[in-house]
Structure 1
């Protein structure tokens, strides 16, 4: 850890503190000219003073010191480094490229967000991530936007299997990471934020190869990148809206969507119509159900219900009624997934719906996608279900695109 600090809030302090809190089990060697110890760990003046072998160097020292530090790391035989300091487009990129070629060192940065990989209890980033799981692998070119994306994802009940900041991409680029992350068992989907594109052909080839194993979502504000990646548009979402991107990633949390025929069940005809509109221009279908299927569900429907797909169960629909509809449709050969929409703020009903959906998850062979339309409590229930591996939504406008990509992905993979 080169460039450590004893001052909370400083990059050199926060990164080392996060590594310790993450439970990293290997030895840590702080490097500092100012301190003899940092956070109760012996510190060294130079990496050359460390007698043990070093697998990874994390550099948060000021940009002007980095070239000399890199040369010392190369002389020490360090094979991997992360440069957190500097600017993405600074002249430091040339020094990094030269050291990488000269010493065979693989380097992230400059201005990298760092690396978070909970499987190995590693967090060398300024973000205090301590609880990872099966979820999204995020590759972010921007450090500050990457931090915001992580914060938003966590607030939406999503977990990260990995976070990697490419920064200025002087050496390691997105295609170098895709192969590894696509083989990671804890990764459900890969999200890439990028503002620059190096070798277009190489990147597109790496995306198509990784797609064989994991879905990929690209977030970019660059019209030029969107134009260059146009040939990929039929295969992956490319968006400038990272909120929509997280909703797409959420569709891969639960059961695979194998088929495109959706049963829509709601306690509001208005909400059902909004959902139907969100499915327009997608591959998903809302099939007409047979009389036999409707008869199986009819005994659970309140008076005044609309007995066609989408089903309107009226505001009288209780969690028990929703459960009856799910149970009666679980073995239907006419549908492939169920979208359940609940409008309301009754805390008892929302809690019961959450419990019911968790109980039904293992009983249903079809994915059930709940959509909660309301305020803070609705959002909280959706967050809890996402943490438990059930794709849940609060923005009905994003549901269609998210489920469409998931259905098309599983159809072709």
Structure 2
């Protein structure tokens, strides 16, 4: 009903002139502050690079002590440059940089690169200089890369704004590095390997421009096909995840991260805190946003190449290997399985078809050894048949030079079938110069080639992991029952936490911990508190023997370590003895003051199920993290665990479980029926909600959670629980926030249409995809035309790939509100959708709106736009805009009613509202 088609989140490509970093990567005028003639200096090298590799713009040397530099007229300051400067590059001592940035701000410079070192890497003095720069940046829209960086190159235009000795080759890979030294090494390597770049960026200390800014920029750049990153620290985690999650769907992002073997995390009060090491959390973050992590620089660029070439993505881990020699097939198989893939089990019908023309001694299995005398025709026919096998997700063709082998002609025969395949095809042409021409043929046909088959197999697995990660992000989750969160008792949780804080405790008792879990619908074993042996006996009698006694203490974390658990107590005498033993053990170790009593619980037969652990701890950069894995007393020995970032939905919960070994057992082994994995998913989703809604909780352990067969009495039951809080004097502003913004429940509100129909206005959810399909069926051609400026078919509008982009909202960058109506039968229906999308790198946004034809003229458009404007104010936006068709007068009236200014242009009616200051951008 309102906006130009470019705002459709499924097809949004930002115009280059809207991108704030364009002034840095595509400047018309460049000022070099610190330009000099002195041989070997950064200022001279930088200026020489700019003028010796023409980029189509003008260069102004800035040096108050020289009239000219390298024969070019110099200027005393940037304020005296004869033209408006797009990009200023600063190569002067650190102490002078804050004042120079101030000059740039006052001169209206749009972008800056600070090459100078001597900032936070040298300590407090450098940090103070950085703060002075930040204060200047707050005064203007100027964006700054650095400090302490090599600079940037745009090989496609010829811009070399670095002090590196050579210019990178042009290509389609965007490269970002936190290490200037690694930049130069990669640059040298790229010449040998003929790797080209669309951008070559040294990011430095990320004082202003960070990973997220650059990922958005390269994502918007149509010439960049893949993004590769060398990372030392992640910086603003939310910015990185937000940008990567959006861009990775259309462009692969591959990261090599140093520091994998750094010292383990400090000891924590929970098993989760111990097991959730920093590097494991980083891996979880990468998976969550679809980023691939590799170990070696060669893999970084090989993977970028293969993902850019291969339009097909593997839908599973099963690889079929075609080879003319057994040894290379075995090498490929080992590499495949060791890195998480599997050999495809060739279907019987495929074996039968192959046997019709292959020699009698072929392998009759996978790897498919077609023998050393294989000619081009045999290779081509084998590939044609195997590519249609339903049991494989990809193919690897291996060729070793032998007497009957023709590498070049084989490549010619293969390329047609490889291009026609509906699954990825990789090739390994082994040998030297004799296979080079064949490799070239395959590469030109977009078939990635590798000299070694094990490397090809590993890269296939990376491709599968890429598909798997993206599927986990954008697979529509199950719609949760309305009752799922309806009975959460947040008031009880707050009471328990406040009572503990009031007494200075940071460790909740097991009973308190279980009460909090129960408040979020997580089933716990019944536990009764007893301060005396007599009370313990009374509880045991009521619960029924056998029972378990567990220590209640405000001091001890792990009860078993101090003899605080007594199992399988069959009668009153055993209960009294156990009570006395626990009390005596604590008294002997630390004194009776640390003994508050015991809990009495029914004895649950753990052999009837599997013990898993579910936990949460805080990461300094990513905030709450969730752990799932094999539980019990040996949890830290087995270390079978996986980590994820909340919030979780059912799909992400299943992905978390799939990464563990215990998951296979939960599906049913050795005659056991499977567990109710759907209910376990729901439990993880509720647990995720708990971790986000209760920021005073520092760590949680449910260990063990007993997971039994679906039809058992207790299919899911938390047998033990432990919760640690932040100290009561903690400043909540210092508690790490979630790296992924949770569902913004503050924007959920009830409302009534003009005809008094009750509805709910709320942010969109991934689970809404089926409702959006039905919504689009209610739209007329006019409504579609007014919204998209052209007619779009229903099949196009409701395609899964498109709706996932609309429903899976990054609430940090955009907000989509739906008007949700629940009919008398309990069925939900979406009546209207309004979307506010923030432009990359700015504090401005555009809005879009679409209302079901049946419910137009009911006030929905006005309500949604008012809500979106309020969201914009809450989120600190400067202004909101839209472009409206001239004939869409209804939308124009809605905009005027809400306070937008309208301006007619030859093509559209421009609507704009300022949120933080009238008439100023």
Verify same fold: TM over 0.5. Answer: yes
- 2: CA distance between counterparts of 1:76 and 1:120? 25
Note if 1:314 corresponds to 2:345: no
Structure 2 vs 1, CA of residues 231 and 41 (structure 1 numbering), >3 Å: closer, same or farther? same
Note if 1:370 corresponds to 2:370: no
- 2: CA distance between counterparts of 1:9 and 1:375? 41
The residue aligned with 2:282 is 229
The residue aligned with 2:570 is none
More displaced 10-residue stretch of structure 1: 313-322 or 249-258: 313-322
Corresponding residue to 2:185 among 148, 168, 175: 148
- 2: CA distance between counterparts of 1:5 and 1:386? 45
- Which structure has more strand as a fraction of its residues? 2
The residue aligned with 2:315 is 259
Q: Structure 2 length as normaliser, TM-score?
A: 0.40
Question: Which ranges of structure 1 fall in alignment gaps of 5 or more residues?
Answer: none
- 1: CA distance between counterparts of 2:373 and 2:70? 59
- 1: CA distance between counterparts of 2:421 and 2:207? 48
More displaced 10-residue stretch of structure 1: 189-198 or 154-163: 154-163
The residue aligned with 2:629 is none
More displaced 10-residue stretch of structure 1: 239-248 or 48-57: 239-248
Corresponding residue to 2:304 among 236, 240, 249: 249
Instruction: Check whether the contact 1:99–1:105 (CA below 8 A) recurs between aligned residues.
Output: no
More displaced 10-residue stretch of structure 1: 275-284 or 289-298: 289-298
The residue aligned with 1:279 is 336
Corresponding residue to 1:129 among 143, 167, 187: 167
Corresponding residue to 1:186 among 223, 226, 234: 223
The residue aligned with 1:70 is 101
Corresponding residue to 1:47 among 78, 81, 84: 78
Q: Structure 1 length as normaliser, TM-score?
A: 0.83
Report the 3-state secondary structure (helix = DSSP H, G, I; strand = E; otherwise coil) of the residue aligned with 2:309: coil
The residue aligned with 1:289 is 346
Instruction: Check whether the contact 2:171–2:195 (CA below 8 A) recurs between aligned residues.
Output: no
More displaced 10-residue stretch of structure 1: 74-83 or 233-242: 233-242
CA deviation digits over 1:141-200, x for unaligned, max 9? Answer: 110112222333443343322222110112111122222222332323222222123233
CA deviation digits over 1:350-391, x for unaligned, max 9? Answer: 455555566666455543211234457768976886587432
- 1: CA distance between counterparts of 2:281 and 2:250? 23
Instruction: Check whether the contact 1:181–1:187 (CA below 8 A) recurs between aligned residues.
Output: yes
- 2: CA distance between counterparts of 1:165 and 1:94? 21
- 2: CA distance between counterparts of 1:150 and 1:95? 33
Note if 1:323 corresponds to 2:360: no
The RMSD of aligned alpha carbons is 3.5
CA deviation digits over 1:232-287, x for unaligned, max 9? Answer: 25443334432333333233021222433432111221111111122216664433
Instruction: Check whether the contact 1:248–1:403 (CA below 8 A) recurs between aligned residues.
Output: no
Structure 2 vs 1, CA of residues 215 and 28 (structure 1 numbering), >3 Å: closer, same or farther? same
Corresponding residue to 1:268 among 325, 329, 342: 325
Equivalent residue pairs, number: 411
Give the C-alpha shift of residue 84 in structure 1. 1.9
Note if 1:338 corresponds to 2:395: yes
- 1: CA distance between counterparts of 2:66 and 2:445? 44
Give the C-alpha shift of residue 27 in structure 1. 1.9
Report the 3-state secondary structure (helix = DSSP H, G, I; strand = E; otherwise coil) of the residue aligned with 1:280: helix
Q: Which has the larger radius of gyration?
A: 2
Structure 2 vs 1, CA of residues 357 and 116 (structure 1 numbering), >3 Å: closer, same or farther? farther
Note if 1:97 corresponds to 2:134: yes
- 1: CA distance between counterparts of 2:99 and 2:444? 44
Report the 3-state secondary structure (helix = DSSP H, G, I; strand = E; otherwise coil) of the residue aligned with 2:383: helix
CA deviation digits over 1:33-66, x for unaligned, max 9? Answer: 5655555543333222212111111223344443
Report the 3-state secondary structure (helix = DSSP H, G, I; strand = E; otherwise coil) of the residue aligned with 2:176: strand
Note if 1:197 corresponds to 2:234: yes
The residue aligned with 1:392 is 449
Structure 2 vs 1, CA of residues 229 and 130 (structure 1 numbering), >3 Å: closer, same or farther? closer
- 2: CA distance between counterparts of 1:84 and 1:250? 30
- 2: CA distance between counterparts of 1:388 and 1:95? 53
CA deviation digits over 1:77-123, x for unaligned, max 9? Answer: 11210112325624153343233224442111112232223444433
Instruction: Check whether the contact 1:55–1:78 (CA below 8 A) recurs between aligned residues.
Output: yes
CA deviation digits over 1:319-347, x for unaligned, max 9? Answer: 4543343345455555443211223499x
Report the 3-state secondary structure (helix = DSSP H, G, I; strand = E; otherwise coil) of the residue aligned with 1:253: helix
Structure 2 vs 1, CA of residues 283 and 222 (structure 1 numbering), >3 Å: closer, same or farther? closer
Note if 1:15 corresponds to 2:68: no
Corresponding residue to 1:112 among 141, 149, 154: 149
- 2: CA distance between counterparts of 1:384 and 1:72? 55
- 2: CA distance between counterparts of 1:232 and 1:278? 26
- 1: CA distance between counterparts of 2:134 and 2:436? 46
Structure 2 vs 1, CA of residues 192 and 130 (structure 1 numbering), >3 Å: closer, same or farther? closer
Q: Which has the higher contact order (CA 8 A, sep 6+)?
A: 1
The residue aligned with 1:207 is 244
Question: Which ranges of structure 2 fall in alignment gaps of 5 or more residues?
Answer: 1-31, 263-277, 475-921
- 2: CA distance between counterparts of 1:160 and 1:383? 20
More displaced 10-residue stretch of structure 1: 136-145 or 27-36: 27-36
Report the 3-state secondary structure (helix = DSSP H, G, I; strand = E; otherwise coil) of the residue aligned with 2:229: strand
Report the 3-state secondary structure (helix = DSSP H, G, I; strand = E; otherwise coil) of the residue aligned with 1:246: helix
Report the 3-state secondary structure (helix = DSSP H, G, I; strand = E; otherwise coil) of the residue aligned with 1:251: helix
More displaced 10-residue stretch of structure 1: 32-41 or 335-344: 32-41
- 2: CA distance between counterparts of 1:384 and 1:171? 45
Report the 3-state secondary structure (helix = DSSP H, G, I; strand = E; otherwise coil) of the residue aligned with 1:175: helix
The residue aligned with 1:405 is 462
Instruction: Check whether the contact 1:5–1:13 (CA below 8 A) recurs between aligned residues.
Output: yes
- 2: CA distance between counterparts of 1:350 and 1:10? 51
Structure 2 vs 1, CA of residues 143 and 178 (structure 1 numbering), >3 Å: closer, same or farther? same
Corresponding residue to 1:26 among 57, 64, 70: 57
Instruction: Check whether the contact 1:156–1:383 (CA below 8 A) recurs between aligned residues.
Output: no
Report the 3-state secondary structure (helix = DSSP H, G, I; strand = E; otherwise coil) of the residue aligned with 1:252: helix
Instruction: Check whether the contact 1:345–1:378 (CA below 8 A) recurs between aligned residues.
Output: no
